[in-house]
Amino acid sequence: MLPVSPSQIVHVACGATEPQDCVDAPGECWLCGAAMQRGQRVADWAGASFTGQTRVKRPDATHVCSACVFVCSRVSAVPGRPPKEGKSLGGNFRNYSHLWDEHGYTNASKGEKPKIREFLSRFHVGAWFAAIADSGQKHVLPWTPINPAGTRRGVVLFDEQIVTLPQVAGWSIVSHMTDLLTAGATKEEIERGDYSARAWQLCGDGLRSFEEHWGDKRRSAWFGLALWLSQRDEAEVQIRLQAEKATKDARRSKGRKAENVDGRSTSSRARGVPRERHAERAEALGDSAKPDARSDAHNGHAGAVDHEPVSRDADPGTEQLDLFGRG
């Protein structure tokens, strides 16, 4: 006969080691509500740091079953999560998602979402449950519902929220979210439905298609879990980022080439035009300097378009009369 709560199932899978200070206590567990034979008094177990009083299944019970005491204890060993080098304790049950069906028990970290996704989306023949931990700050096993054998659409516990899983077709939302994340959208944008200009530039067609198909599901519990399960394809992201970098580098290179061409062109034109010595003398002497005979000669004829030939001995006063006093 199988235990009747996820805590008890996991406790058996871990060897059913009984924590210290458990006593005979036939009845129901204060925490998970399952039938029990041994456990600890609530008053001795629930310290000041316990914050799940509003979630207990049997508020009138007096004891917590030995299985719940085990899975909620920091010193209990999580299967497959040994202590890291230099540490005395291994994994904490509250930091992992816990999955069980006819194939047995397993757990998964937040970094192992594909494992969780595969478990949730497959067809389960017998009874099964999934306790999914998000924050890692709350125990989820004691309150997780067990799906009976043959359940087509199961329910799971996602931190404190009960989520009803969809039929097979409903799982395509995860693939769609994964595509958007890989293309450049963020989880925050998908969650809000408010996308940046960059997201529209990178995957505008995908965003429009997603909103058309799934936008009305945004506030549902399943939408939140689906987004949590979605992860971008890192290999494809690296290919996209490299392509974006190559495009930016090409644009920069093209811009630099254009600048260089303009610079050489200006320099070439400057070298191709004969230097006008009178212009240099004008700079040296100031605004009152006048073109001399050599500059006229350089223009190829007596009197250039810009200047009348002026004698060096000419009276400036007379010149002013010629310029302004004559019609």
pLDDT (tens digit per residue) in 38-59: 999 999 998 877 888 889 999 9
Q: Residue 247: what pLDDT? A: 75
Helix/strand/coil (H/E/C) assignment for every residue in the chain: CCCCCHHHHHHHHCCCCCCCCCEEEEEECCCCCCEEEEEEEHHHHCCCCCCCHHHCCCCCCCEEEHHHHHHCCCCCCCCCCCCCCCCCCCCCHHHCEEEEECCEEEEECHHHHHHHHHHHHCCCCCCEEEEECCCCCCCCHHHCCCECCCCCCCEEEECCEEEECCCHHHHHHHHHHHHHHHHCCCHHHHHHCCCCHHHHHHHHHHHHHHHHHHHHHCCCHHHHHHHHHCCCCHHHHHHHHHHHHHHHHHHHHHHHHHHHHHHHHHHHHHHHCCCCHHHHHHHHHCCCCCCCHHHHHHCCCCCCCCCCCCCCCCCHHHHHHHHHCCC
Q: How would residue 97 be classed by pLDDT, with cut points 50, 70 and 90?
A: very high
Per-residue pLDDT tens for 255-295?
777 666 655 544 444 455 555 544 444 444 344 444 444 44
What is the reported pLDDT for 153?
86
- Tens of pLDDT, residue by residue over 83-92, are 999 999 999 9
pLDDT tier at 120 (50, 70, 90 boundaries)?
very high
Query: What pLDDT is attached to residue 211?
Result: 97
Residue 51 has a pLDDT of: 80
The two three-digit tokens of residue 40, written as one number: 């600890």
Tokens representing 277 are 């010595």
Cα–Cα distances (Å) from 22 to 36, 178, 309, in that order, read 11, 47, 121
Q: Helix axis angle, 172-183 relative to 197-214, nearest 10°?
A: 170
Q: What does each C-alpha distance from 110 to 40, 98, 154, 179 come to in angstroms?
A: 31, 11, 21, 20
pLDDT at residue 252, rounded to an integer: 78
Checking DSSP bridges between strand 23-28 and strand 35-41, what pairing results, if any? antiparallel
Q: What is the pLDDT of residue 182?
A: 96
Whether 224 shows a pLDDT value over 90: the answer reads yes
Q: What is the mean pLDDT of the chain?
A: 83
Instruction: Tell me the pLDDT tens digit for each residue of 98-112.
Output: 999 999 999 999 999
Rounded-to-integer distance, Cα 241 and Cα 192, Å: 25
Domain boundaries, the chain: 6-71, 169-232
| Structure tokens given for 18 | 């009984």
pLDDT digits (tens, 9 = 90+) for 133-192: 999 888 999 999 999 998 878 999 999 999 999 999 999 999 999 999 999 999 999 999
What CA–CA distance (Å, rounded) separates 105 from 103? 7
Residue 298 has pLDDT above 80, yes or no: no
